[in-house]
Chains A and B, each alone.
Chain A
């Protein structure tokens, strides 16, 4: 009898283990299943579920309804997934040639395999260069041909806590020396100068990219990546030395290499750190998000990454890039309708996304209607004056090289490599690829 009891306990325990191991995330998908009749059905997949990205969901939903009203013979059917599930599913679908007619993609390195595999249709007939902010369409182009149209655009200012700055008589720095002075003063007073979630690695990459830009101008890094130059360019090594210097000054939050971006953000939101370099997708947190206290919002300001004495880059050059874009499937049976819908969607999205969702569209925005938060107007005006937009390095590179770059960034911040080795490893990886 006892033996039986024992074996049943064991099997229960084992079964329990199996069940736990088998737990998988559920995919929240919902689809509009209206009767299609003789209508032309255009299938669309996007990544803004009603729950987590309500603003974007509503905009897209409204646009679809308006479009269907104007074109009664077209029926747009949507399938919606969360960000990560979307990324996985789109890969699986493309492997079995079942991509939706219209879908969302990321720029450059991410979409290249799809374009090489002839999964995306060229959109040169609907994407007009001058409707978009300079440089954004390029990020979705392969061999000068656009394969997707950008929806979002982000640049990266340095956000700072005005109150902390005031307490130590600091001002938003315009030059790099002033910036170093800010860092030094804060570090001396035991205030964390900069919060950085470098577990995610692209976060540290943005600091490096800005320094590279300010020291060597935008060409230095770009030409190293497109192989017209070298990563061992003195400016790029110098930028790595500056990072090393910042690390030694104690500029970054303790344990930055183990913090994710979200954790690091917490330090800024809790006023435990004075500065935070992040893309403009953070803007809603400092302007419109109802969960954040007004008191904190009033304390946040931003400045452009300061200029470096003797450097080639100017203050109106930005690191940034388009977020997601819309593609049309090459296999689609309703390509013409899909393309028409895409151009309609992009245009309408541009009119509404800033005001309704706080997302800066890649299309040119009219700021005159006065509904916007002043911080948005400032950013949009800065964007108008931008002299250059350097796409995030890891997005420009292919996945393999990007991984080398990101690992080197983490090693550089962690003091596990020297600036020279940092440059050489990446030069080798880039050279090996071609």
Chain B
């Protein structure tokens, strides 16, 4: 057996299926979309090579940078909300009554499909009959907001369900990580007279910092390529007020028949996401990662 596994051809043979899968489903499409970015193509007729034109337009396209800014806003908000998730998991993991049930409740939004969530929140945000405004009216607010129709609010209104949607996912990760902190250490701390707040700050958080870094990465990259709720709830409107990079790409490619330019946007999105991944891993790198 050992002989077989050390044979280079066998190794190549065994990794081949996975390699092929990744190549054909991920890397080749990425290269292709970069390539289509050099073309003037409506997705139907002939492609014509136009060199860097699409990429030059992209850099000068105000709408692209607006949508990039919106994507970054989402990234900032979802990263900030990680702290909230972390706080919830700290409470959940500290053996309070009913934490099992609560954990399951928090997980439910994750089990719903994005489109169902979007439909649900569109009903909540309905300006006349929606739950949000009915509640505000109950508290005596007169000029209730029009939520998704107001260009100043629309984007932030969508952030609420997005953050709500992913709560369960991150809480689950943090919860699992916190449960993984050895009891002996915490017991030792207790014996030394540490309060539960001190235990949380000085022991639990440093011990799960590795997981925290991973979730920052997931939140930022996930936000940058975010698409579903935006697309269903406002379609990027009104007037591009809630357009993010991915929805802008979809709109250019499929709605406006600019496959070439759409591909260029997609490639831009990839570059930005890669850069952010690199930046975050650089920023969060520390030598003294705690091992246990």
Spell out A's residues near B (CB within 8 Å).
2-3, 5-6, 9-10, 13, 16-17, 20, 23, 88, 91, 94-95, 113-114, 116-117, 119, 192, 198-199, 201, 253-259, 263, 267, 272, 399-400, 403, 407, 410-411, 414, 416
Contacts and interface: CB of A to CB of B under 8 A. Distances in A.
A256 B151 CA distance: 12
Interface of B: 42-46, 110, 113-114, 122, 125-129, 146-151, 154, 169, 172-173, 176-177, 179-180, 182, 234-235, 237-240, 251, 254-258
Given A2-B180, A20-B113, A399-B255, A258 B44 contact: no
Nearest to A256: B149
B238 to A, nearest CB: 4
Nearest to B170: A13
Closest 5 pairs (CB-CB, A-B): A255-B127, A258-B149, A258-B148, A117-B45, A255-B146
B48 to A, nearest CB: 12
B257 A399 contact: yes
Contacts of A403: 251, 255-256
B50 to A, nearest CB: 16
A6 B251 CA distance: 41
Contacts of A16: 110, 169
Contact of B176 (A10, A23, A113, A410): A10
B128 A263 contact: no
A114 B44 CA distance: 7
B239 A416 contact: yes
B146 A199 contact: no
Contact of B238 (A2, A88, A91, A414): A414
Contacts of A23: 113
B235 A113 contact: no
A94 B44 contact: yes
Given A95-B43, A255-B148, A257-B149, A13 B255 contact: no
A410 B254 CA distance: 20
Given A256-B149, A411-B239, A6 B43 contact: no
Contacts of A399: 255-257
Contacts, number: 111
Given A255-B148, A411-B239, A91 B43 contact: yes
Contacts of B126: 255, 259, 263
B180 A3 contact: yes
B184 to A, nearest CB: 11
Contacts of A2: 179-180, 182
Given A253-B128, A414-B238, A416-B239, A9 B176 contact: yes
Nearest to B228: A21
Given A91-B43, A407-B240, A414-B149, A6 B113 contact: no
Nearest to B183: A2
Contact of A416 (B113, B122, B151, B182): B151
A434 B46 CA distance: 20
Contacts of B180: 2-3, 5-6
Contact of B146 (A5, A254, A267): A254
20 contacts: A2-B182, A9-B176, A13-B172, A91-B44, A113-B42, A116-B45, A117-B46, A192-B128, A254-B127, A254-B146, A257-B146, A257-B238, A258-B148, A258-B154, A258-B238, A259-B126, A263-B122, A263-B126, A403-B251, A414-B151
A255 B110 contact: no
Nearest to B211: A10
Contacts of B257: 113, 399
Nearest to B165: A20
Nearest to B232: A260
B169 A13 contact: yes
Contacts of A95: 43-44
Contact of A6 (B46, B128, B151, B176): B176
Interface centre among A17, A91, A257 (most CB of B within 10 A): A257
A407 B151 CA distance: 12
A255 B147 contact: yes
A263 B128 CA distance: 11
Contacts of B240: 407
A3 B181 CA distance: 9
Interface centre among A16, A192, A258, A410 (most CB of B within 10 A): A258
A426 B73 CA distance: 30
B192 to A, nearest CB: 23
Contacts of A255: 126-128, 146-150
Contacts of B122: 263
Contacts of B42: 113
B239 A414 contact: yes
Contacts of A416: 151, 239
